[in-house]
Structure 1
Amino acid sequence: MKIKTNFLLIGLTAMLLTACSTSVERLDVAEQVDLSGAWNDTDSQLVAQEMIEDSLSRAWISNFHKEQGKSPAVIVGKVRNLSHEHINTNTFVADMERELINSGDVQFVASSGTREEIRAEREDQDLNASEATRKEMGQEYGADFMMQGQINTIIDVDGKTQVRFYQVNLEMVSLKDNRKVWVGQKKIKKLIKNSKLTY
């Protein structure tokens, strides 16, 4: 009887451990997965791609080519998160930077944080590097335009059903005279039905 009871206890313990275990499945990074309805990697990539494509197809870039005879230099500034949820805007900015650089239509200037680190390195070189390999101060390439914007949301909830509306506004501004040369907008609407809905 004792042996039977022990086997039963071992079996129950194994079942409990199996039920509480964590399951991990590796996914293709290109696969679209939306678990909670919140802003995710798919939203970030799709919005960045569509908005950069739109911005590069507008008149401001061809006008600059005609006037200056070269590609404009662009920098991505801040994208403010004005939504109700935590959104890592750094990944969204990185997605936009990748799309801009890989387009080949613009020259791209490093962000302010990156520039500070590089300037510190140049200062160090000024004191410690040989004359032949030292990089001089004052040779930076200035940006012609800055892209900046914001992410907004509107939430509509009824019981266990929720509609999340995202609106991303971006604009391209001339650093020379503060003219807005392009304004873009992308909207995303998601219907979420969940027995444990939170917002």
Structure 2
Amino acid sequence: MNIKTNLGLVLIAAFMLGGCSTYVERLDTQEVIDLSGAWNDTDSQLVAREMIEDSLSRPWINNFAKAEGKDPAVIIGTIKNLSHEHINTNTFVANMERELINSGKVQFVASSSARNEIRDERADQDLNATDDTRKAAKQEYGADFMMQGQINTIIDIDGKTQVRFYQVNLELISLKDNRKVWIGEKKIKKLVRNSKLRE
């Protein structure tokens, strides 16, 4: 083989290897990037922030504080994903928890799964920890209200264009008497044009 042939083979090999390489770029976590039009981190943060702000601006919170003389204690229950796509509701719940706790307007109670883990730790302490560091059982802070909700979608497709409509509904329910003290709704609509969409 002559030098030109060898050089050509090297260039082809380099091109092929370069085409298979992975490119990674670090991004600002606050930057809005919408690649597919599906529910994403921006939607989760935006909806959580707006809905929690709305819930804490309504009369129920002042009515409770006036009647009971303390801030209400809130827990987040089940958020159902009834949409057409996979949505990580755990991330959405974490965003709402952060907004509730950081508001300073409510006490926040851990989820049932977190409470069970903590109860296991207390039971272990009861057997193994010293008297002065052991945490007693039956000292938990009971929630006054539970937030529940669901995420729904409607997808409208025409050729390579689609409209993705998201509707998030949340309710705040009194654990004492099952009264609904707040109902919130947030809608998101996205127009997506994609050459890969089915005809």
Same fold by TM-score greater than 0.5 = yes
The letter for the 2-side match of 1:21 is S
SS of match in other structure, 2:66: helix
Which residue of 1 is the match for residue 158 of structure 2?
158
Which residue of 2 is the match for residue 10 of structure 1?
10
Shift of 1:101: 0.2
Which residue of 2 is the match for residue 114 of structure 1?
114
Which residue of 2 is the match for residue 136 of structure 1?
136
The letter for the 2-side match of 1:156 is D
- RMSD of aligned alpha carbons: 0.9
Shift of 1:20: 2.4
Q: For 1:134 and 1:16, how far apart are their aligned partners in 2? A: 63
Shift of 1:19: 2.1
Shift of 1:21: 1.7
Write out per-residue CA displacement over residues 122-176 of structure 1, whole angstroms, 9 at most, x where no aligned residue.
Answer: 0011111111111111000000000110000000000110100000000000000
Shift of 1:106: 0.2
The letter for the 2-side match of 1:34 is D
Which residue of 1 is the match for residue 169 of structure 2?
169
Q: For 2:132 and 2:26, how far apart are their aligned partners in 1? A: 49
- Gaps of at least 5 residues in structure 1 are none
Q: For 1:197 and 1:80, how far apart are their aligned partners in 2? A: 27
Q: For 1:68 and 1:82, how far apart are their aligned partners in 2? A: 36
Shift of 1:33: 0.4
Q: For 1:81 and 1:187, how far apart are their aligned partners in 2? A: 15
- Superposed counterparts of 1:30-109, under 5 Å: 30-109=30-109
Q: For 1:100 and 1:13, how far apart are their aligned partners in 2? A: 56
The letter for the 1-side match of 2:132 is A
Sequence identity of aligned pairs in percent? 76
Which residue of 1 is the match for residue 149 of structure 2?
149
Q: For 1:177 and 1:197, how far apart are their aligned partners in 2? A: 49
Q: For 2:173 and 2:38, how far apart are their aligned partners in 1? A: 30
Which residue of 2 is the match for residue 189 of structure 1?
189
Shift of 1:120: 0.3
